Amino acid sequence: MPILKIAAFSDGDTGGNPAGVMLAEILPSDAEMQRIAAEVGFSETVFAAPTAAGWRVRYFSPETEIPFCGHATIALGAALALQQGDGVFALTLNQARITVQGQRNGSLISAALQSPPTRSTAAPADLVTAALALFGYRPDELDPRLPPALIHAGADHLLLALNSRAALAAMHYNLAAGRQLMQQAGVVTIMLAVAESPQHFHTRNPFAAGGVYEDPATGAATAALAGYLRDRAWPHGGVIDVVQGEDMGMRSRLRAEIPPAPGSSIRVSGSARIMSA
């Protein structure tokens, strides 16, 4: 089956995070999906096969399977809209059941996912110390309004909120050291975030655990961030807009809608552009 290449959370007809999408009658073997993901080389490739209840979905980075990937889900919604027509599609993941909506709009496709349930907890002090050392940040570069946390919306992430856009732009780290830290901590990414205003964030997402230095758009972490803001009673007003990938020349735009119920699903939406098949 051909692999579609779709950039999710694009900024119009540029930017976004590329994902591979394979729609198959039956999912390939684990080894074959891992091989394909490594060959495609994007941070994630999503595999989907039809079932009586919708679609069975799995996500692979070039090095490992992950439980949930937001940008690949948006790419999948775009692919399903192209193949099946506009609609809402039920997805069964390894550990959750969610939906994705896809709607064609000329050369772009809009898509929105409903994340798995969210949760957040304070990050252990030793993990925060190790993460700050990894990036060369000082404790006084953190935003005291948003303390470091372990955040979850289908996958686990470490959140470090910084107090300046300059600190975010200066992000750098050693990939091997980052992989070791993330694997030891059991997190998929480390999200670095700056609150430009209560409803507008800039973020970066090192993904060393999957063998990727940085993701230009991360829907799962954005959903987890939104859930954390709700847990913190942050004045989000029910929605946040996130710009990611700007510092790597892949500007991406994500929107997260935040219902009031604690732990409930977050709707994350954006545009997707078709790259090639």
The reply to whether 80 and 94 lie within a common domain is: yes
Q: For the chain, what is the HEC assignment?
A: CCCEEEEEEEECCECCEEEEEEECCCCCCHHHHHHHHHHHCCCCEEEEEEECCEEEEEEECCCCEECCCHHHHHHHHHHHHHHHCCEEEEEECCCCEEEEEEEEECCEEEEEEECCCCEEEECCHHHHHHHHHHHCCCHHHECCCCCCEEEECCCEEEEEEECCHHHHHCCCCCHHHHHHHHHHHCCCEEEEEEEEECCEEEEEEEEHHHCEEEECCCHHHHHHHHHHHHHCCCCCCCEEEEEECHHHCCCEEEEEECCCCCCCCCEEEEEEEEEEC
Domain for residue 25, yes or no? yes
Pair 108, 174 in one domain: no
Q: Is 83 domain-assigned?
A: yes
**Is residue 74 domain-shared with residue 166, that is, in the same domain?**
no
In contact, 192 and 162? CB cutoff 8 Å: yes
244 with 134, same domain? yes
Residue 273 lies in a domain: no
Which CATH number characterizes residue 50's domain? Answer: 3.10.310.10
Establish if 276 belongs to a structural domain: no
- Structure tokens, 158: 């470490």
Q: Are residues 48 and 108 in the same domain?
A: yes
Answer for the pair 30, 7: CB distance below 8 angstroms, yes or no: no
Which of 87, 115, 143 is the endpoint of a domain? 115
Domain boundary among 63, 84, 115: 115
**Are residues 178 and 241 both part of a single domain?**
yes
pLDDT of 108? 76
pLDDT of residue 152: 97
Q: Tell me what pLDDT residue 277 has.
A: 56
Domain identity same for 68 and 21: yes
Does one domain contain both 98 and 125? no
| Confidence (pLDDT) at 276 | 67
Among candidate residues 89, 115, 141, the one where a domain is terminated = 115
Assess whether 184 and 85 both reside in one domain. no
What's the number of domains the chain is made of?
Answer: 2
**Residues 146, 258: one domain?**
yes
Distance from chain centroid for Cα 145:
23
Domain assignment present for residue 275? The answer is no
Across the chain, which has 277 residues, the per-10-residue mean pLDDT values are 92 93 97 96 96 97 92 96 96 95 87 96 98 98 98 96 98 97 96 98 95 93 98 97 96 97 97 84
The model's pTM is 0.92
Please indicate, yes or no, whether residues 123 and 244 belong to a single structural domain of this protein.
yes
- 85 and 164 housed in the same domain: no
272 part of a folded domain: no
Indicate whether 183 belongs to any domain: yes
In a domain, 277, yes or no: no
Q: Which domain holds residue 258?
A: 119-267
